[in-house]
Amino acid sequence: MANMKTKSRSAAKKRFSLTATGKVRYHKCGKSHLLGCKNAKHRRRLRKAGIASDAATPSIKLMIPYAK
């Protein structure tokens, strides 16, 4: 019997990606609506992608085993 591939978590595929150095990148929340009450500095910080913590990275990488 051939070795079976591990399935990726669909939710994780949509939310996380890997950088070239192997860090986990994600989009910050709070950027979709109700932006009028947030000041410009806050909205500008939300534009940049976030990097997952060192503690969360191994579990996220298990969810997306074939991410490039």
Domain assignment present for 43: yes
Please compute, for residue 51, the number of CA atoms within 13 A of its CA located in the half-sphere on the CB side: 6
In a domain, 10, yes or no: no
pLDDT, residue 61, reads: 97
Q: Assess if residue 5 is contained within a domain.
A: no
CB atoms within 10 A of CB 11: 9
Using CA atoms, how far apart are residues 53 and 46, in angstroms rounded to an integer?
17
Check residue 2 and give its pLDDT: 81
| Sheet bearing 50-51, strands edge to edge | 16-18, 24-26, 50-51
Query: Does residue 58 lie in a domain region?
Result: yes
pLDDT of the chain, 68 residues: tens digit per residue: 689 999 999 999 999 999 999 999 999 999 999 999 999 999 999 999 999 999 999 999 999 999 98
Structure tokens at 6: 């591990």
What is the reported pLDDT for 68? 80
Residue-range definition of the domain harbouring residue 32: 21-63
Quote the pLDDT of residue 65.
95
57 belongs to a structural domain: yes
Point out which residues pair with 50 in neighbouring strands: 26
pTM recorded for the entire structure: 0.82
Residue 9 lies in a domain: no
- What's the structural domain count of the chain? 1
